[in-house]
């Protein structure tokens, strides 16, 4: 089954304790992205990657790191989490076709992170 | 990406058509109109997209005005499971920006 998986789905942690949220897709997609969703602010892009070893900042990259060593994996790293990073996080992937048509993004189930 | 404007919320009776409008008056000629929805706190789900012509698939229909400055997503027979936030996005690149969307509530 084609899917994007995220782990963990739920995480409660304390300020300053490094954590990694994993994201994996089995569709051989070039493009992967991380979003955070907060009440009243909608979905905001954190980082994205157009291919292996190619990453770029989205709208809200501060406090986050990513890596793309393999095509299928795109982990999100919080080196020193703070309470303002409490949020619902989504990973997404998409192929990059030659034409702009059908740029459908597939989203993971989400990771609910609470930083105390 | 062109900015979109959607009503914050709408109600629809179960079994009736739900018509969700979107204004995108600054859309450029090569930007597509995409619709996604998000049910509760699940990941957003692709619904439909189009450039100029009206489109239909098993989930919905998309009507784009001739000047492309607005569009309407139509769910022909809304069910309770269609209650969700619906996002209208215009884009040309693989990158995507979500707005606040329209919260559609389907009522029995």
Residue contact B46–A108, C-beta within 8 A: no
- DSSP string spanning B62-98? EEE-TTSSEEEEEETT--GGG-EEEEEEEESSS----
Residue contact B34–A103, C-beta within 8 A: yes
Q: How many CB atoms lie within 10 A of CB A46?
A: 24
3-state class (DSSP) for residue B55: strand
**CB-based contact, A104 to chain B, within 8 Å:** yes
Check whether the bond before A8 is cis (ω within 30° of 0). yes
How much of chain A exceeds pLDDT 90, in percent? 80
CB A91 within 8 A of CB A23: yes
- For residue range B7-55, what is the model confidence (pLDDT) as tens digits? 999 999 999 999 999 999 999 888 889 999 999 889 999 999 999 989 9
* pLDDT for position A90: 97
Rounded to 5 degrees, φ, ψ at B81 are: -75, -10
User: In whole angstroms, what is the distance from residue A96 CA to residue A51 CA?
Assistant: 9
Residue contact A90–B51, C-beta within 8 A: no
- How much is the average pLDDT of A7-24? 97
3-state class (DSSP) for residue A27: coil
Better-scored residue on pLDDT, B3 or B64: B64
On chain B, the residues whose CB falls within 8 A of the CB of A105 are: 36, 44, 46, 96
**CB-based contact, A4 to chain B, within 8 Å:** yes
3-state class (DSSP) for residue A112: strand
pLDDT band at A2 (very low <50, low <70, confident <90, very high): confident
Better-scored residue on pLDDT, A23 or A97: A23
* Strand boundaries in chain A, DSSP class E: 4-7, 10-13, 19-25, 31-38, 42-51, 54-57, 65-66, 76-78, 87-94, 106-107, 111-115
């Amino acid at each position: 089954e084609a899917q994007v998986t995220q782990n963990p789905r739920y995480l409660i942690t304390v300020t300053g304790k490094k954590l990694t949220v994993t994201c994996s897709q089995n569709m051989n997609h070039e493009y992967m992205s991380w979003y955070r969703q907060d009440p009243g602010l909608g979905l905001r892009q954190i980082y994205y990657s157009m291919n292996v070893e190619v990453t770029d900042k989205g709208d809200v990259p501060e406090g986050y790191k990513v890596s793309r060593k393999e095509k299928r994996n795109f982990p999100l790293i919080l080196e020193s989490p703070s309470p303002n990073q409490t949020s619902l996080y989504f990973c997404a992937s998409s192929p990059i076709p030659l034409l702009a048509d059908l740029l459908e993004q597939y989203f993971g189930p989400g990771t609910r992170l609470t930083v105390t | 990406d062109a900015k979109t404007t959607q009503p914050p919320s709408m109600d629809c009776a179960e079994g009736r058509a739900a018509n969700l409008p979107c204004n995108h008056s600054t859309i450029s000629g090569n930007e597509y109109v995409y619709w996604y929805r998000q049910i509760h706190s699940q990941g957003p789900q692709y619904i439909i997209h189009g450039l100029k012509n009206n489109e239909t698939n098993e989930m919905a229909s998309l009507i784009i005005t001739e000047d492309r400055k607005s569009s309407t997503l139509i769910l022909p027979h809304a069910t309770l499971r269609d209650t969700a936030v619906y996002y209208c996005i215009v884009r040309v690149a693989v990158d995507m920006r979500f707005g606040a969307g329209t919260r559609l509530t389907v009522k029995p």
